Structure 1
Amino acid sequence: MKRPAGTGGRSPLAVVFLTVFLDLVGFGIVIPLLPLYAQRFGAGPVAVTWLVAVYSLMQFFFAPWWGRLSDRVGRRPVLLVGIAGASISYLAFGLAGSLTVLFIARAINGVMGANVGVAQAYIADITPPSERARGMGLIGAAFGMGFIFGPAIGGVLSRVDPAAPFLAAAALGAFNGVLAWFRLPESLPASVRATMPPRETGLRARFATLTGAGPRLRGLYLTSFITTLGLAGMEATLALWADRRWGLTQETVGYGFAVMGVVAAIAQGLLVGKLVKRIGERRSALLGLVLMAVGMAGIPLAPSLPLVLVAAAVFAMGQGATVPSLTAMISHQGGPAEQGKLLAASQSLSAMGRVLGPWLGGLAFAHVAIAAPYLAAAALALFALVVLSATLKTTTEAAA
């Protein structure tokens, strides 16, 4: 596909990478500090859990709508609105005077947080099918780098004032909005934008992509949901497990997340493209699921901290291979005018996995064993492997 006009000689891929990276740095600044900040307003463990989950819950309902809107009006306006919404929500966090305001700000962030799905659609617009997994890998690399720099910046600023990280995230969002306004071109030509009648904007229409999907798309969506469900349960209990098992502090756990972020960023930004060229998207996704299962099972079973880091690195490499390959395969299931709809539906399912995963992981941690969320996540990765293998085999045979 041709390069969008108005890039000023810059690759649109580089511009959208920078836009998503800055967006996720702000997200990374906020997330690690959110529970502690909420406790200043009297939030107990249950309230903190819901404060974390309300973002993903809102994304589940609203991400498909934003995706369909981006198919109609273009990616650029939707990305700009999402950046502005995130910045406003972070400002509300920093100026909040009650827990109610925190919940409202968090909900606004979730409602407006369509950037990842729309950015993936942007990548699909500007990359040929053979380069799509590499392009999606850059979005994954932006995730990894955002969660490397964001928590570190937030930790430093929290020493100044508890609200400082949130105000800094708001300022970063404002800068990102200005950058995107002047540097981010439109990727979807008006000639190929989908026309969506008003009757298709309701909730039922937003789920039509999921319920009306063909066998291959359903299998890919299910694989993505199962994988995210296990991941979210593992991530939500990691700090608790590290404290119970090894007596680690939150700061040390943050370093562990940084290590996984570095490995995931390298895997998704540098290795995925080469891996896909060598073995293809299907095998890359399947191999990634195997590595994820091995890594997630290895984390609680490792007899020493260095081996825990090795297991975490194996997991991160698997995630780096699986996520962009799955996303690329989903994007192949529709034409240019359907990319926003397809990828936003995938983002919506992932959001629901991030609502249910922490709840189920917490129950398993509290009532089964502290290793249970990780072993369950490994089992879910293997189940996703079976689902994906069966999906690819069945649909390939049907096509033949």
Structure 2
Amino acid sequence: MRSGRLTPTSVVFLVVFIDLMGFGIVIPLLPLYAEKFRPSPLEFGLLMSSYSAMQFVFAPLLGRLSDRVGRRPVLLVSLLGTAAGYLLFAFAGSLPVLFASRLLDGATGGNIATAQAVIADTTTGSDRVRGMGLIGMAFGLGFILGPAIGGFAVHLGPAAPGLFAAGLSLVAFFWALVRLPETRPVGTQARPFEVLSLASLARTARRPGIAALLVLSLVTATAFASFEATFAQYLSHRFGFGPSGVAGVFVAVGVTAALVQGGLLRRLVPLLGERRLVLSGILTLVLAFGLFLALGSVPLLFVAVVLVSLGTGLLTPSLLGLASRRTDPTEQGEVLGAFQSTAALGRILGPFWGENVYLRVGPAGPHGTGLVLELLAALLAAWALRGDDKIARAEAPGASGA
């Protein structure tokens, strides 16, 4: 790449960061906007899960489409769909319109998987995990700045946060339109495009060495979503935190995630490799959930929060990097879309499970089940990753220290 030009990884990092600031604006306000329409508990749960439900269905489809027609057009259409969803959110005058805004955003939400496919196309070896980590860093930064922008915008009128978010997605769209080249490998031909995304997901799971990684993605995403969905209630009931205190804790989560995935990870990958980082991330989450069960002070609370962010920051990009290394260049979009799909399924199951356990068992319930799920994930990872010849072959090119 010539001096003075941004790499595709840098371009997609900025695209995802700008877009996720919009996501960070809207998501904290969604429950408040929904309350205006007095939804039933079932309607509220469906609304909060609707985005992830659409991602579960459409992420493999969009990933497959990016293998077929290219990363650039799919990313651009996804960003336009996100902007349209935010515009509906801004002017939602009824609960069905609010549902439509989340369904549209989820159905066109192929931006993350496509951005990850761009990184897979343009990186090799340990650089691939570092690139995946930059996507996680964009998440962290977006969720630090987005809520702050939303808190300011809401004072300008009820439509302002949605308009700000839509504007950011349009900025990301034009940035990608101008600066992002097509990265899909030339001279390759993907399989014919299929609309049935569940068939695509099943085919991905049948690839050598991928099924166990998909299960790990689902289990860990479910544990984290269960924790995340009930964490504000936990902070209020256990420590008496108000909205500002809860916001401060979530800022700590975002800052830690950004530091781990944007800085620490690039130093650890050459030393440890993806396999050890996956195991380290899961074991760190085991420690974090165990610490939550024993909490007695605010300082220990922040230690546990940092450990959750550290574990997630080590695990997610390493898991994606390992899966990407095992995948043919013509199928990167489909496979990474499948991982977005399983993570979305975890974000559907986790909140329902976490809220139910919280109400039946108490504030410690989601942390206890999170601990059990992460222990199961640790056992699965130790079995699936130990001495696997396919993994060794996948890691060999360009990997060091694995």
- TM-score normalised by the shorter chain: which range applies? over 0.9
Q: Within 2, Cα distance between the matches of 1:129 and 1:257?
A: 32
Change (3 A) 1:311 1:55: same
Displacement of 1:369 in angstroms is 1.9
Any idea what SS the aligned residue of 2:184 has?
Answer: coil
Which residue identity lines up with residue 100 of structure 1 in the other structure? P
Q: Within 2, Cα distance between the matches of 1:189 and 1:318?
A: 33
Aligned residues: 393
Change (3 A) 1:33 1:204: closer
Provide the residue aligned with 1:212 in structure 2: 206
Provide the residue aligned with 1:58 in structure 2: 54
Provide the residue aligned with 1:241 in structure 2: 234
Provide the residue aligned with 1:122 in structure 2: 118
Q: Deviations over 1:201-229 (max 9, x none)?
A: 32453233344232x21111111110001
Which of 197, 205, 226 matches 2:192? Answer: 197
Which of 295, 298, 303 matches 1:305? Answer: 298
Q: Within 2, Cα distance between the matches of 1:229 and 1:131?
A: 28
Change (3 A) 1:379 1:249: same
After TM superposition, the structure 1 stretch with the greater mean CA deviation from structure 2, 121-130 or 230-239, is 121-130
Which of 355, 374, 381 matches 1:388? Answer: 381
Provide the residue aligned with 2:19 in structure 1: 23
Any idea what SS the aligned residue of 1:191 has?
Answer: coil
Counterparts of residues 86-235 of structure 1 (less than 5 Å): 86-192=82-188, 194-198=189-193, 200-214=194-208, 216-235=209-228
Q: Within 1, Cα distance between the matches of 2:147 and 2:198?
A: 38
Counterparts of residues 328-347 of structure 1 (less than 5 Å): 328-347=321-340
Matched, 1:251 2:247: no
Displacement of 1:255 in angstroms is 1.4
Provide the residue aligned with 1:354 in structure 2: 347
Conserved? CA contact 1:287–1:318, under 8 Å:
yes
Conserved? CA contact 2:185–2:330, under 8 Å:
no
Q: Within 2, Cα distance between the matches of 1:195 and 1:340?
A: 10
State the superposition RMSD in angstroms. 1.8
Counterparts of residues 5-24 of structure 1 (less than 5 Å): 9-24=5-20
Runs of 4+ aligned structure 1 residues displaced above 4 Å come to: 397-400
Which residue identity lines up with residue 208 of structure 1 in the other structure? A
Provide the residue aligned with 1:375 in structure 2: 368
After TM superposition, the structure 1 stretch with the greater mean CA deviation from structure 2, 25-34 or 387-396, is 387-396
Q: Within 1, Cα distance between the matches of 2:169 and 2:27?
A: 15
Q: Deviations over 1:64-112 (max 9, x none)?
A: 0000000011111111011100000000110111001000111001100
Q: Deviations over 1:304-358 (max 9, x none)?
A: 1121011100111111111110010010111211100111011101100100010
Conserved? CA contact 1:209–1:342, under 8 Å:
no
Q: Within 2, Cα distance between the matches of 1:398 and 1:162?
A: 51
Which residue identity lines up with residue 86 of structure 1 in the other structure? T
Displacement of 1:38 in angstroms is 0.8
Displacement of 1:175 in angstroms is 1.4
After TM superposition, the structure 1 stretch with the greater mean CA deviation from structure 2, 33-42 or 159-168, is 159-168
After TM superposition, the structure 1 stretch with the greater mean CA deviation from structure 2, 349-358 or 158-167, is 158-167
Q: Within 1, Cα distance between the matches of 2:370 and 2:331?
A: 32
Conserved? CA contact 1:296–1:312, under 8 Å:
no
Unaligned runs of 5+ in 2: 394-402
Unaligned runs of 5+ in 1: none
Displacement of 1:368 in angstroms is 1.3
Any idea what SS the aligned residue of 1:17 has?
Answer: helix
Q: Within 2, Cα distance between the matches of 1:87 and 1:298?
A: 40
Query: Which TM-score applies when normalising by structure 1?
Result: 0.94
Conserved? CA contact 1:209–1:341, under 8 Å:
no
Change (3 A) 1:241 1:204: closer
Displacement of 1:268 in angstroms is 0.5
Which residue identity lines up with residue 374 of structure 2 in the other structure? A
Q: Within 2, Cα distance between the matches of 1:182 and 1:203?
A: 30
Displacement of 1:191 in angstroms is 1.6
Which residue identity lines up with residue 91 of structure 1 in the other structure? L
Q: Within 2, Cα distance between the matches of 1:268 and 1:211?
A: 26
Provide the residue aligned with 1:277 in structure 2: 270
Displacement of 1:300 in angstroms is 4.3
Displacement of 1:394 in angstroms is 5.8
Q: Within 1, Cα distance between the matches of 2:391 and 2:347?
A: 33
Conserved? CA contact 1:56–1:354, under 8 Å:
yes
Matched, 1:262 2:255: yes
Q: Within 2, Cα distance between the matches of 1:60 and 1:343?
A: 12
- % identical aligned pairs: 44
Query: Which TM-score applies when normalising by structure 2?
Result: 0.94
Displacement of 1:8 in angstroms is 6.9
Change (3 A) 1:377 1:190: same
